[in-house]
Structure 1
Amino acid sequence: MNVVKRNGTIEPFDLHKIAQAMQKSYKSVGLTFTDDECLKQAQEITKAYPKNEDVAIETIQDDVELYLMKKKYYEAARSYIKYREKQKTDRDNPWADNDERQDLILKKYLINGEDKKDFIKRIAFGKSSLEKIFRRKEAIFGGRNLYAIGRDGNITGSNCYVVQDPEDSLESIYKVDYQIARTYSYGGGQGMNLSKIRPKGAKVNNSSNTTPGVMVFAEKYSHTTLNTQQDNRRGALMLVLNIDHPDIIDFITTKLDLSKVNGANISIALTDAFMNAVENNDEWVMNFETPYELIEKKIKAQDLLKLVGYSAHTMGDPGVIFIDHMNDYHLMSEYDDVRFTATNPCGEQPLMPHGSCNLGSINLNAFVKNAFTDNATYDWERFDFVVSEMIVALDDLLTMLGDRHALPEQREHVKNYREVGLGVMGLADLALSMKLPYGSPEFLEFLDQLMRRMINTSMKASALQAKELGVFPRFDYDKVSSSQFYKTAIDQDTDELVKQYGLRNSRLVSIAPTGSISNILGVSGGVEPFFQINYTRRIVSMFDEEKTITIWEKTPLALAKAMGVKPEELPEWALITSQNIAFMDRANVQATIQKYVDTAISSTFNLHNSATVEDVITIYKTAWRKGFKGATVFRDRCAKIGILAGVNENTEDLNPATPPHVHLEEKWTDKRTGVIKEYVTHISVSSSGHTPEKIEKELCPLCGDVLVKKQGCIHCNNPECDYEKCAI
């Protein structure tokens, strides 16, 4: 026997679903029946159904109503009828509570003539369980899937990719340029690492004699990103450079000039060795070897990190990724040939060459019962169901949209690895609904339980999907189960399923920023605190009358209503934002989540304007110690805001940092002749870039240490030596 749903789809008859619906109605009016009792009642209701005929869902629900009335459970019957009426209203007019802002964002995903009801039906691709999940705002796919499902043409369902890193040749560099352009034309973003390209000034075997270095090609890729259109938007690009590349200072400071590389996000790949050198105040060596020469540059590791901190403090770029932890903490870390060098543009997915991120997110706030009360609870059963359904749906989309990738290498990679990324949103809303202050010990305890449950539920769903459809081709139980991530995050009952059936997907959980989709569902993005609890909007009427209104986020407003106070009278714990949260509270939240995320977390430390460069550096150090896979900071009213804002906005940076001045030693060795040239390069940084001054290396005549230039004079680098030489 099957059940015919209202949309015409057919599902297997499940007596337990009827029993569960009845039990919910009983509980809602204070009646108590056991699971077995409800199951027997469901059997009684359906015993007359022909076993070889399908039955309509309306018939079942009508019969449940009649049974409740016949047994004189009038209050339960009334509750059940109200539930059906609400379900009908939600089906006929879903997301009716969305405001104009939400509808405006949703509009970019709609097909011409499509309303919300049509949209939900389209993206559920015939699965009634998904329709219900989407109607109830319990979860939603990532933006590219929302756009691609049901549309014709070369439109990818994957948000982003990572391309094969360009090799140190023009052929490879321009091949990559084509590949990213082709990917953009299908709607995907791209990421890459530029560290294989030889540094500026290195010899080449052509008419140029020397190479212009990494930054010229970074600019080339940036221009390609800006110039390839994607249905009224441009592509997205992440450029990564290793901290030991000789061009790293050019890369770190390039975004201080807003006209440079403005078509890409940039990140520095920091190693454990570098962070240990920072901790120990050691020198750091950047080196590169070509067929013609050995290039070596030395600088104090702390000075180099200060350059990163200054640039991020001033412009919000670059971000940092902790490349060793990124490679050591995931399900395939024990595969010798699986290594990450870059992430997608938002940073939530470290990917192999030609890997892609197929994304969806769970609305964590949707499962809170008795919100804003001391009796608030979490519907773990429904949470588990939605997580499982979304993992299966994302895997189905890999097959449905498998021919929608721009490059044959991308299509082949999807077949071999079947990567999905299920994330979360609405965490800040959940904190208010459960009355657990964001970042508090009790919040962290709940969050640990939630995220551990999410990864284990996701993995069980992938294992059961593997039982039906087969494992991803590269699956190896011994290698997967030996990974540090698996041993840390996976429970025994999950392990037993994986051991028996394998895994359908090589990647499972990924925390994307969820900018558009969290706005559509009306909750906070990703795992961030609220950026603002409220904001002001200036409205000018057609008669030039101006007024200012205050707009509050929906969940804080609902909490205030439940507490019987004005929004501005909410207690301090309910007004936590990214601007006022204690740094360690914010860090502890991300560290708790990262334990159970096999990919990465896209999350930004939004800082008050008063934050210093030292605060930024403290964030980097803390993030590394706590096992983050990356860290991005953005300071309110930094120079970038001032440049990009409108003329009427007061965005003056009230706390600009003092630009650093550093020096490094260079050693260039000609491999053919053995000739060595040594230099000292003095670097003066400003708020719009940096100016290097390269001079022949000179040693102090008193102590033999290196001489450096400071404030127009030549000083010995040895702090215990007094040698000084100044021009008259």
Structure 2
Amino acid sequence: MSTKTNTVVKPKTYTQEDAFEASVKYFKGDDLAARVWINKYALKDSEGNLYELTPNDMHRRIAKEIARIETRYPNPLSEETIFDLIKDFKYIVPQGSPMAGIGNPYQIASLSNCFVIGNDGDSDSYGGIMKIDQEQVQLMKRRGGVGHDLSHIRPKGSAVKNSALTSTGVVPFMERYSNSTREVAQDGRRGALMLSVSINHPDSEDFIDAKLEQGKVTGANVSVRIDDAFMEAVKANETYTQKYPIFSENPKFTKTIEANKIWKKIVHNAWKSAEPGILFWDTIINESVPDCYADLGYKTVSTNPCGEIPLCPYDSCRLLAMNLFSYVENPFTDKATFNFELFKKHIHVAQRIMDDIIDLELEKIDNIIAKIDADPESAEVKSIERNLWLNIQKKAEEGRRTGIGITAEGDMLAALGIKYGSEAGNAFSVEVHKTLGIEAYRASVYTAKDRGPFAIFDAEREKNNPFIQRLKEADDKLYYEMLEHGRRNIALLTIAPTGTTSLMTQTSSGIEPVFMPVYKRRRKVNPNDKNVRVDFVDEVGDSWEEYVVFHHRFKQWMEVNGYEVSDNYDQKELDEMVKKSPYYQATSNDVDWLSKVSMQGAVQKWVDHSISVTINLPNDATEELVGKLYLEAWEAGCKGVTVYRDGSRSGVLISNEEKTEQENQEVLTAFPTKRPQVLEADVVRFQNNKEKWIAFIGLIEGKPYEVFTGLADDEDGILMPRWVENGVIIKSKNEDGSTRYDFQYQNKRGYKTTIEGLSHKFNPEYWNYAKLISSTLRHGMPIEKIVDLINSLQLDSESINTWKNGVVRALKRYVEDGTQAKGQTCSNCDSSNLIYQEGCLTCKDCGSSKCG
């Protein structure tokens, strides 16, 4: 008699080194793309075990799961058909959460990239406000970005029936929600939050100013919902009446303001710090197809953190991008054409895949609810989280919203020989997006024939919607088929930012132009290795090689046009080459801003959600230009707009030029006078004369505020594991009343670990100098000036001089790229034309570089 035993076959695992080597080969030598894929998207468990070797393993995982869903419906797509379209990131690219989460058994998370939450009824009560806070955190821990609107909160000074007697207004709750975001990590990344408020709200001016006070509201993007009446008042230089509740016919509170006064504040703050963004709310609502069902729970209230998906409360969206470059045949030649027929065919498949992903999302939500039910907490404790996911489940099942978009717009145009931002470029982009909009809707109608329409579809409700009217005018056959069969999805289209996605497609990002076709990077090398080239040696003896990096599609242009791809070009040769390419004067810093706004408005007419796009301006752009761009964006039909002026960041004006006395005063008073109890912090490790050193840099809005530096004790691990790159520094009190600074980070199991007393972990000889340097940081002295100050210190102790070098190396990482190094000369050519680039002093005349 024999017995059989069931053997459990464990899935194969790979080391980080194996996956990196295989993925670099997959990406044809692109180590950045390989690292991004391994860190963010490769299948791994909580112990760090890797189950995928290259992105093809991921694509096979995704194709298998989508094919499984397809078998539920008539005429299913095969796994091979799906795999062939998504492999190599060539045609169809599920973005972010779908890429990481589809077929992932090791992570209980949503496939939605973004959510909006909100309350019905008496939502400005403390109970309602705390409920939103908890819902926000619960979504962020499942990897979602979150948006919500604050227009329901009573304005400052309003009467309330509690011990406070009057309301504190919107701003304190901005800080609460912002702090909650900073506390949550999602698979190694911080949460993402959008806070919005209506310009009609009496506290909107305080909301607009809130982010300028550094150290506050650091965990959120902020946007103002602006209505047409306000814009008309701005144009006519008239007054505007704010109300609470907003737009109420019987408001409890009204306030008349000068529209231009608050408009100038919005423009000034955006010019100075890139925020607030603007949401043209009447355009969003009037154009919104889901808002035809507002009375059924689909009233749009806010957007996701990047602004490309306006949503109703508890709705969410999954994203997918189509790689436009791949539809260009014979790219970079005079025979280049865009294959519209193949594009249309793939749009239909992409929309079906998006609908399949909704079914996969519903399965994920079932798993999340099951996990909540199995948790040991009481039903009372779990009720908010459970109800949150039940609400999200209902919206996903009922509306089946999708977010199909694009990437590689800039490369597509260049491959066709069309200049981005030109009249021809804008016209061709509109044709592409019109095709995408019409065919995605057609695909949704065809899917409804097989699978049924979304649950509340009602053609009568939608008949006067401007977007639906444009579809009817462009293709009446599609419109009448939609009347007959309905549509599978309530809304379908978006243009999202595709940062990491574009790294893996190796193309320009989203709808944006190429950032730079060619640039230089540096890598540390071992001078004793064979065939290594040492371009410079830094002040502590490290050797560095400088090499040219070509944008992937620029490199393809070079190959097509007979140029050798090598590091042997000097800067003049590179400049001449770029001039001959279709990327010349078509980068993000070259494109005419008004042309870009015009393009966004024209494309927006074929995108039923919204577009995430940033208008990049040079440092010397005026506030008047920002105001003109905002006004032009409204008139062009944009749903939102964000500007970024080069060097503007979080209320601190960074400039390579000499500042006026007033501007210097702005910089010196930018940080809060009182040190916040908790600061975000970076951990910087480096080698100093063969010794291992570590620095803890306390940050406010990404800028150094304090520094703790000393020898790293790697042997017994007193400090922390080497994988820790960031955390928080907490100011605490000892029992004797003295102050101490603790560092806290989140370990791989999700628990917080605290290293107590940073000020006592290092040699006390360093401490007084550290306090001096932190003091200069806190008073806003430019980092490059602090670096000069530290370098000028004449110190007798060898250990202090070594420490001094370490502090300099740590702080140089935070010098704004392009900042002039005054009073220093190049050791190679004696030029004084030195700037900081990636923490290194670089000579703009001869190109030599010295790293700190």
TM range (shorter): 0.7 to 0.9
Deviation at 1:654, TM superposition (A): 6.5
Residue type of the partner of 1:257? Answer: E
State the alpha-carbon separation in 2 of the partners of residues 323 and 656 from structure 1. 38
Task: Classify 1:375/1:328 alpha carbon distance in 2 versus 1 (closer, same or farther; 3 Å).
Answer: same
Return the match for 1:580 from 581, 590, 595.
590
Instruction: Determine the structure 2 residue equivalent to 1:97.
Output: 28
State the alpha-carbon separation in 1 of the partners of residues 489 and 26 from structure 2. 32
Kept in 1: contact 2:214–2:651 (CA 8 A):
no
Residue type of the partner of 1:349? Answer: I
Return the match for 2:269 from 291, 300, 311.
311
Kept in 2: contact 1:612–1:657 (CA 8 A):
no
Return the match for 1:265 from 197, 209, 221.
221
Instruction: Determine the structure 2 residue equivalent to 1:114.
Output: 52
Kept in 2: contact 1:225–1:236 (CA 8 A):
yes
SS in 1 for 2:325: helix
Q: CA RMSD, aligned part only?
A: 2.8
Deviations 1:28-79 (A, max 9, x none): xxxxxxxxxxxxxxxxxxxxxxxxxxxxxxxxxxxxxxxxxxxxxxxxxxxx
Task: Classify 1:266/1:653 alpha carbon distance in 2 versus 1 (closer, same or farther; 3 Å).
Answer: farther
SS in 2 for 1:574: coil
Deviations 1:266-321 (A, max 9, x none): 00000000000000001222232699994433332111111111111111111010
1:510-529 equivalence runs, <5 A: 510-529=494-513
Residue type of the partner of 2:313? Answer: P
State the alpha-carbon separation in 2 of the partners of residues 353 and 653 from structure 1. 46
State the alpha-carbon separation in 1 of the partners of residues 504 and 103 from structure 2. 20
SS in 2 for 1:334: helix
Deviation at 1:642, TM superposition (A): 6.5
Residue type of the partner of 2:344? Answer: D
Deviations 1:357-412 (A, max 9, x none): 11100010001001111211111222112211111011111112214346110000
Task: Classify 1:293/1:507 alpha carbon distance in 2 versus 1 (closer, same or farther; 3 Å).
Answer: closer
- 5+ residue gaps, structure 2, are 1-21, 44-49, 68-78, 366-387, 528-541, 564-572, 674-852
Return the match for 1:134 from 79, 86, 94.
86
State the alpha-carbon separation in 2 of the partners of residues 657 and 411 from structure 1. 56
SS in 1 for 2:190: coil
Kept in 2: contact 1:641–1:651 (CA 8 A):
no
State the alpha-carbon separation in 2 of the partners of residues 260 and 389 from structure 1. 45
SS in 2 for 1:570: helix
Instruction: Determine the structure 2 residue equivalent to 1:373.
Output: 333
Residue type of the partner of 1:385? Answer: K
Kept in 1: contact 2:324–2:412 (CA 8 A):
yes
Return the match for 1:533 from 506, 513, 517.
517
1:550-561 equivalence runs, <5 A: 550-561=548-559
Deviation at 1:93, TM superposition (A): 11
Instruction: Determine the structure 1 residue equivalent to 2:483.
Output: 499
Instruction: Determine the structure 2 residue equivalent to 1:226.
Output: 182
State the alpha-carbon separation in 2 of the partners of residues 206 and 511 from structure 1. 45
Deviation at 1:578, TM superposition (A): 1.5
Kept in 2: contact 1:403–1:411 (CA 8 A):
no
Deviation at 1:106, TM superposition (A): 0.9
1:155 maps to 2:164: no
Instruction: Determine the structure 1 residue equivalent to 2:469.
Output: 487
SS in 2 for 1:508: coil
Deviations 1:595-621 (A, max 9, x none): 100000011111111111111111110
Instruction: Determine the structure 2 residue equivalent to 1:723.
Output: none
Larger mean CA deviation between 527-536 and 338-347 belongs to: 527-536
Kept in 1: contact 2:214–2:671 (CA 8 A):
no
1:191 maps to 2:147: yes
1:412-451 equivalence runs, <5 A: 412-451=394-433
Kept in 1: contact 2:24–2:30 (CA 8 A):
no
SS in 2 for 1:419: coil
Q: Which has the larger radius of gyration?
A: 1
Query: What's the TM-score, normalizing by structure 2?
Result: 0.64
State the alpha-carbon separation in 2 of the partners of residues 286 and 328 from structure 1. 21
Task: Classify 1:618/1:207 alpha carbon distance in 2 versus 1 (closer, same or farther; 3 Å).
Answer: same
Instruction: Determine the structure 2 residue equivalent to 1:593.
Output: 603
Kept in 2: contact 1:165–1:192 (CA 8 A):
no
Deviation at 1:228, TM superposition (A): 1.9
Kept in 2: contact 1:423–1:511 (CA 8 A):
yes
> When the two structures are aligned, how many residues end up with a matched partner?
571
State the alpha-carbon separation in 2 of the partners of residues 332 and 204 from structure 1. 35
State the alpha-carbon separation in 1 of the partners of residues 343 and 235 from structure 2. 42
1:604 maps to 2:614: yes
Return the match for 1:570 from 567, 571, 578.
578
Kept in 1: contact 2:348–2:443 (CA 8 A):
yes
Instruction: Determine the structure 2 residue equivalent to 1:8.
Output: none
State the alpha-carbon separation in 1 of the partners of residues 440 and 320 from structure 2. 12
SS in 1 for 2:344: helix
Residue type of the partner of 2:138? Answer: R
State the alpha-carbon separation in 2 of the partners of residues 458 and 299 from structure 1. 44
Query: What's the TM-score, normalizing by structure 1?
Result: 0.74
Kept in 2: contact 1:518–1:525 (CA 8 A):
yes
Deviation at 1:97, TM superposition (A): 2.7
Kept in 1: contact 2:116–2:311 (CA 8 A):
yes
Residue type of the partner of 2:593? Answer: F
Deviation at 1:131, TM superposition (A): 1.0
Kept in 2: contact 1:432–1:559 (CA 8 A):
no
1:247-262 equivalence runs, <5 A: 247-262=203-218
Kept in 1: contact 2:327–2:339 (CA 8 A):
yes
Deviations 1:570-591 (A, max 9, x none): 3375221121211122112212
State the alpha-carbon separation in 2 of the partners of residues 431 and 253 from structure 1. 39
State the alpha-carbon separation in 1 of the partners of residues 92 and 661 from structure 2. 42
State the alpha-carbon separation in 1 of the partners of residues 212 and 220 from structure 2. 14
State the alpha-carbon separation in 2 of the partners of residues 588 and 288 from structure 1. 35
Larger mean CA deviation between 378-387 and 454-463 belongs to: 378-387
Determine which structure has greater relative contact order: mean sequence separation of CA pairs < 8 Å that are 6+ residues apart, divided by chain length: 1
Deviations 1:226-254 (A, max 9, x none): 11221211221110011121111211111
1:406-417 equivalence runs, <5 A: 407-417=389-399
Kept in 1: contact 2:273–2:652 (CA 8 A):
no
State the alpha-carbon separation in 2 of the partners of residues 401 and 623 from structure 1. 35
Deviation at 1:537, TM superposition (A): 1.7
State the alpha-carbon separation in 1 of the partners of residues 198 and 468 from structure 2. 28
Task: Classify 1:402/1:287 alpha carbon distance in 2 versus 1 (closer, same or farther; 3 Å).
Answer: same
- 5+ residue gaps, structure 1, are 1-90, 644-649, 660-683, 692-728
Kept in 2: contact 1:98–1:522 (CA 8 A):
no
Task: Classify 1:585/1:205 alpha carbon distance in 2 versus 1 (closer, same or farther; 3 Å).
Answer: same
Task: Classify 1:654/1:555 alpha carbon distance in 2 versus 1 (closer, same or farther; 3 Å).
Answer: farther
1:22-33 equivalence runs, <5 A: none
Instruction: Determine the structure 2 residue equivalent to 1:72.
Output: none
Deviation at 1:685, TM superposition (A): 13
Return the match for 1:357 from 317, 340, 344.
317
Instruction: Determine the structure 2 residue equivalent to 1:244.
Output: 200
Task: Classify 1:474/1:617 alpha carbon distance in 2 versus 1 (closer, same or farther; 3 Å).
Answer: same
1:302 maps to 2:249: no
Instruction: Determine the structure 2 residue equivalent to 1:69.
Output: none
Task: Classify 1:94/1:656 alpha carbon distance in 2 versus 1 (closer, same or farther; 3 Å).
Answer: farther
Deviation at 1:536, TM superposition (A): 2.5
Task: Classify 1:244/1:652 alpha carbon distance in 2 versus 1 (closer, same or farther; 3 Å).
Answer: farther
Deviations 1:193-225 (A, max 9, x none): 101101122221111111211111111111111
Task: Classify 1:229/1:690 alpha carbon distance in 2 versus 1 (closer, same or farther; 3 Å).
Answer: closer
State the alpha-carbon separation in 1 of the partners of residues 649 and 470 from structure 2. 42
Deviations 1:309-366 (A, max 9, x none): 1111111111010000001113234345243121011100000111101110001000
Deviation at 1:147, TM superposition (A): 1.2
Kept in 1: contact 2:193–2:305 (CA 8 A):
yes
State the alpha-carbon separation in 2 of the partners of residues 611 and 183 from structure 1. 38
Instruction: Determine the structure 1 residue equivalent to 2:281.
Output: 323
